[in-house]
Amino acid sequence: MNDEKTKVEELKKQVLQFRQRRKWTGEDPKDIALSVVLEATELLEHFQWKTGDEVRKEARLYGPICDELADVLWWVLVMAESLHIDLAHAFEMKMRKNEEKYPEKIFASDASEAERWRHYYRIKAKYRGGHPLAEGENDK
């Protein structure tokens, strides 16, 4: 099994069959969402007190990081199955929204890094009803 040949639907079926054989079905979507966050937090633990480069260079973390990413994916697939969400379609629709929200012409322009960050935070402010870094006073 690999990313090039495996379809999302195959993964969803595999997870569902595993859960059905153990009678692990019918979870509340709230509990599934909590499980996504809990597994993402376990993934984050491997990065605590380390830079990204330190993590990349630490071969012993590769397996545990793979396990935690798979656990996050597991719960994403469970949520999609539970709420009858076509993940590929949802992803496609989100990418379309992102194309509108983050226009390439602004982020790929010759603008300074500070201006690109200001623009990013203005977008966050627009979609979230405000962001403390939107005005550029605290540039990253």
71 vs 118: CA distance, rounded Å: 35
139 vs 7: CA distance, rounded Å: 41
34 vs 39: CA distance, rounded Å: 9
Instruction: Let me know whether 13 and 78 are in one domain.
Output: yes
Instruction: Let me know whether 76 and 37 are in one domain.
Output: yes
Instruction: Let me know whether 50 and 110 are in one domain.
Output: no
Instruction: Let me know whether 107 and 80 are in one domain.
Output: no
Q: Could you give the number of structural domains in the chain?
A: 2
Whether residue 78 lies inside any domain: the answer is yes
Instruction: Let me know whether 72 and 108 are in one domain.
Output: no
Mean pLDDT of 94-112: 83
Per-residue pLDDT tens over the stretch 12-37: 999 999 999 999 999 999 999 999 99
Whether residue 93 lies inside any domain: the answer is no
Mean pLDDT of 44-63: 95
Tokens at residue 84, please? 């009858």
Per-residue pLDDT tens over the stretch 104-136: 777 777 878 888 888 888 888 888 877 777 765
Whether residue 23 lies inside any domain: the answer is yes
- The confidence band for 138, taking pLDDT boundaries of 50, 70 and 90, is very low
Per-residue pLDDT tens over the stretch 55-73: 999 999 999 999 999 999 9
Q: What is the CATH number for 53?
A: 1.10.287.1080
59 vs 78: CA distance, rounded Å: 30
Whether residue 30 lies inside any domain: the answer is yes
Provide the domain limits for residue 127.
102-140
Mean pLDDT of 94-104: 88
